[in-house]
């Protein structure tokens, strides 16, 4: 949602192009507030998500739901972003309808289908069905050319997340949004602030156990630092985080609920270092001149 928002705004401003926004509604509340920052409302909301869904079930519902959308609206191009299950399903549905696909953030690779899982497979498979590849970097372009994609079909565009971040940072500078669940004194100048996020499937289980144990150890080694962790909604993340870091066991670790995009940008802009497994935050934080420790084996 965040990475496509600047593209949607660009389509709005173009005299000969019309952008139609179709959402599958993964992480309903988080998506709605993120799009709201940019005054974007989906034209169609498929609302595909169900509790405890399997990847196979989600993929099947997404292919079917997006196919019905494409049959009704017949766009000239389907624009996809990134490496989610929605991307793979939409690319397949568009291919079946003989509608060309444009892939934003094309060409990212780890070379390992297990990490990130299933995202590496999603983007590799989507590449084979894509007509126009919008690569964020020269390295991403090189990856695509090495896989046999014609150079004429690859365009290096830069990263749309940076466009979105600069729009959001300007709003944050003006408004200083409140960070729910966090005392304002924690954000005061002079406090060492470590911002943490984690959500990747390949870290479920032992990975998150190790991450939480490491944060606990760091909090003891650096008692004057504040560790702020907006905890992802997935129960595979929340259980080890609450068990190891919750219940006041580590008073300088602040576990808060997931927060809206603008308060999160404020935290990024204020913190001293980030610990994350997020591909997007890896790109955003350096744009704010913040060091990032990447909690992944491959990226």
β-bridge pairing 78-81 and 226-230: unpaired
pLDDT-derived band at 116 (thresholds 50, 70, 90) equals confident
Question: Over 80: is that where the pLDDT of 28 sits?
Answer: no
For residue 232, indicate whether it is catalytic.
yes
Other C-beta atoms lying within 10 Å of the C-beta of residue 18 = 9
The mean pLDDT value for 19-33 works out to 83
Question: Over 80: is that where the pLDDT of 269 sits?
Answer: yes
Cα 224 from Cα 127, distance rounded (Å): 47
Question: Over 80: is that where the pLDDT of 276 sits?
Answer: yes
Q: For the segment 136-164, what is each residue's pLDDT rounded down to a tens digit?
A: 999 999 999 999 999 999 999 999 999 99
273 vs 235: which has the higher pLDDT: 273
The pLDDT value given to residue 207: 87
Question: Over 90: is that where the pLDDT of 68 sits?
Answer: yes
Catalytic position from the list 201, 209, 236, 238: 201
For residue 119, indicate whether it is catalytic.
yes
For residue 61, indicate whether it is catalytic.
no
Cα 151 from Cα 165, distance rounded (Å): 29
Catalytic position from the list 61, 133, 141, 199: 199
Question: Over 90: is that where the pLDDT of 234 sits?
Answer: no
For residue 27, indicate whether it is catalytic.
no
The pLDDT value given to residue 129: 98
Catalytic position from the list 61, 83, 254, 277: 83
Catalytic position from the list 61, 103, 119, 202: 119
> What's the gap between Cα 177 and its chain centre?
21
Q: For the segment 160-195, what is each residue's pLDDT rounded down to a tens digit?
A: 999 999 999 999 999 999 999 999 999 988 899 999
For residue 120, indicate whether it is catalytic.
no
Share of the chain above pLDDT 70, in %: 100
Catalytic position from the list 61, 103, 200, 232: 232
57 with 70: CB under 8 angstroms?
no
pTM to 2 decimal places = 0.80
The mean pLDDT value for 273-293 works out to 92
Catalytic position from the list 61, 103, 105, 123: 105
């Amino acid at each position: 949602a965040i990475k496509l928002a600047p593209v949607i705004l660009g389509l709005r401003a173009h005299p000969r192009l019309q952008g139609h926004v179709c959402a599958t509604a993964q992480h309903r509340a988080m998506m709605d507030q993120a799009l709201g920052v940019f005054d974007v409302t989906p034209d169609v909301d498929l609302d595909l998500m169900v509790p405890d869904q399997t990847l196979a079930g989600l993929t099947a519902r997404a292919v079917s739901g997006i196919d019905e959308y494409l049959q009704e609206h017949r766009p000239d191009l389907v624009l996809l972003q990134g490496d989610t299950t929605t991307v793979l399903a939409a690319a397949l549905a568009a291919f079946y309808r003989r509608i060309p696909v444009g892939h934003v953030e094309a060409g990212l690779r780890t070379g390992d289908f297990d990490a990130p899982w299933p995202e590496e497979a999603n983007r590799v498979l989507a590449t084979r069905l894509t007509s126009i590849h919008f690569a964020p970097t020269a390295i991403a372009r090189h990856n695509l050319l090495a896989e046999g994609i014609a150079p004429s079909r690859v365009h290096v565009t830069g990263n749309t997340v940076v466009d979105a971040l600069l729009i959001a940072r300007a709003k944050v500078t003006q408004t200083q949004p409140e960070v729910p669940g966090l005392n304002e004194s924690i954000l005061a100048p002079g406090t060492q602030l470590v911002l943490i996020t984690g959500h990747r499937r390949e870290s479920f289980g032992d990975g998150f156990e190790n991450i939480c144990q490491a944060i606990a150890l760091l909090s003891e080694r650096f008692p004057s630092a504040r560790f702020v962790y907006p905890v992802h909604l997935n129960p595979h993340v929340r259980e080890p985080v609450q068990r190891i870091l919750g219940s006041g066991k580590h008073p300088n670790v602040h576990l808060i609920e997931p927060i809206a995009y603008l308060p999160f940008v404020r935290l990024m802009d204020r913190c001293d270092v980030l610990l994350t497994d997020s591909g997007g935050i890896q790109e955003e934080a350096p744009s704010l001149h913040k060091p990032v420790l990447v909690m992944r084996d491959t990226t």
